[in-house]
Amino acid sequence: MSSSGRQGAVAVFGSIVVALILSIAPLPDSIEEFRPDWVALALIYWTMMQPQRYSVGTAWLVGLVLDVAQGTLLGQHALALVAVTFLTSRFHLLMRVFPMSQLTATVFALLAVYQFLLFWINGVAGVDTRAITYWGPVIAGTIIWPVVAGLLSGLRFRLLARG
């Protein structure tokens, strides 16, 4: 792997670690239900931009780490992240040419799929939660997506400029 390739891998790994930290960092109770799905947003971006390097396997490993960090049913987030990254990698060529408004709508749908799978798994496991727990992150993630995509694009372009 070249030097720029290693820098790129470190940047992706770093952004995913930051997303994991943001996912488990404590928030006030009043806004906890509107915490964006940082890990899902980061994986959507990196899968869309580099599906040959970061896709289903990465999502599975990161999902297992997220399950352990949040203390949820093991494999719950892993399964949901795998589904989202599979859909993203399947349609990454289309998504990359979408204007930001259409891409934001697509990210809304992907986050809704992610939360639906979490809802379904919790239902099967008998975990009862309020609806805002599922819809809050979808809405917040959709609103924050342009900022996340802009930050990660800036990081990606800086690394490409160095290489």
Write the CATH number for 125.
1.10.1760
Could you say which DSSP state residue 129 is in?
-
Inter-CA distances, 127 with 74, 83, 132, 145, 161, Å: 14, 21, 15, 29, 48
Structure confidence at residue 52 as a pLDDT band (50, 70, 90): very high
> What's residue 6's pLDDT?
78
For residue range 91-148, list pLDDT tens digits in order: 999 999 999 999 999 999 999 999 999 999 999 999 888 888 899 999 999 999 999 9
The larger pLDDT score, comparing residue 151 to residue 2, is at 151
Does the pTM of the predicted model rise above 0.75?
Answer: yes
What does the angle CA 19 – CA 159 – CA 80 come to, to the nearest 5 degrees?
A: 30
pLDDT exceeds cutoff 70 at 2: no
Q: What residues make up the domain containing 33?
A: 3-162
Q: Please tell me the distance from the alpha carbon of residue 15 to that of residue 64, in angstroms, as a whole number.
A: 17
pLDDT exceeds cutoff 70 at 1: no
HSE of 46, CA atoms in CB hemisphere, 13 A: 26
Could you say which DSSP state residue 71 is in?
T
> What's residue 45's pLDDT?
97
Q: Tell me the pLDDT of the chain averaged across its residues.
A: 93
For residue range 77-95, list pLDDT tens digits in order: 999 999 999 999 999 999 9
If we measure between CA atoms, which residue out of 13, 89, 7, 8 comes closest to residue 44?
89
Tally of domains in the chain: 1
Inter-CA distances, 7 with 16, 39, 159, Å: 14, 20, 7
Q: Please tell me the distance from the alpha carbon of residue 20 to that of residue 69, in angstroms, as a whole number.
A: 8
- In degrees and rounded to multiples of 5, residue 32 shows phi and psi of -55, -40
Structure confidence at residue 3 as a pLDDT band (50, 70, 90): low
pLDDT exceeds cutoff 90 at 41: yes
